[in-house]
Amino acid sequence: MKKLLTLIIGLMSALTMTQAETTPNNPLAGKKVLIAYYSRAGQNYVSGDIVNLSVGNTAALAKKIHAITGGDFFEIRTVKSYPTDYHEATEVAQKELREKARPELVGDLPDVSSYDVVILGYPNWWGTMPMAVYSFIEKSGNLAGKTILPFCTHEGSGMGNSVRDLKKLCPAATVLPGLPIKGTRMYKNDPTVDTEVARWLQSCKK
Ligand SMILES: Cc1cc2nc3c(=O)[nH]c(=O)nc-3n(C[C@H](O)[C@H](O)[C@H](O)COP(=O)(O)O)c2cc1C
């Protein structure tokens, strides 16, 4: 009887594992996934007001995506931090964009060669990705051969030109349609974001 019970429990746990690996909630099951994102906590523009974000909107969205896909999680951070003040930050970012700057990044970057899929997140800055994301991509071999799933948070411009810029920067990668989520919705914890994230990931399934 004890042996039979052990066998049943063993079979049940094997079944649970298989179910977890192929859960319909994770359309990327079976793929090696890296979520890499840049996000800036501090003052930001939300629904016409300047508010102080303790966690950046893109970071919050990255966590939601990670809860579905799992995989490795990497925050792109710059050695020199941006001003906390919103207006000052926009000025620094605009100058960097104009000068095609490549800000230095903190620490060792993940070895992207071992991943099938890179889910790449960033805030829309002046209509494209922050220059730190350009630094990350270039230091990661322009993500050649990878499937890139871009997502961004913004305050009205959606993905802007970022997907076009990404395709130009990563000609040997497959760039799938992006997920733009308004930062205000993250700040206000809009529960419909979860459905949108799940639908987007489902649409990226190959
Ligand atoms: C430097 C800077 C530039 C921005 N440029 C744009 C823009 O061009 N279009 C837009 O819709 N939002 C823009 N925003 C708003 C951010 O994209 C938005 O608040 C985003 O959710 C911030 O994400 P984060 O908290 O992860 O950094 C900008 C914000 C900053 C700080």
Report the CATH number that the domain containing residue 65 is assigned in CATH: 3.40.50.360
Which residue has the CA at smallest separation from atom 25 of ligand 1?
56
- Within a domain: 14: no
Tell me the CB-side half-sphere exposure of residue 123, using CA atoms within 13 A.
22
Q: Which helix (H) or strand (E) holds 199?
A: helix 192-203
Task: Tell me whether residue 10 is in a domain.
Answer: no
Instruction: Give residue-wise pLDDT tens across range 139-168.
Output: 999 999 999 999 999 999 999 999 999 999
- 124 token code pair: 């829309």
Supply the range of the domain harboring residue 99. 30-203
Counting the structural domains of the chain, the total is 1
State which ligand 1 atom lies nearest to the alpha carbon of 53: 25
pTM of model > 0.85:
yes
- Least Cα distance to 59 among 84, 46, 71, 42 occurs for 42
Token readout for 63 is 């966590």
How far is the C-alpha of 34 from the C-alpha of 69, rounded, in Å? 9
Q: pLDDT > 90: what percent of the chain?
A: 85
Please report whether residue 12 resides in a domain: no
pLDDT digit string (tens) for 128-142?
999 999 999 999 999
Q: Which among 43, 77, 128, 155 is the best mutation to test ligand 1's pocket, defined by most ligand atoms within 8 Å of the CB?
A: 155
Has residue 195 got a pLDDT over 50?
A: yes
What pLDDT score was predicted for residue 45?
Answer: 87
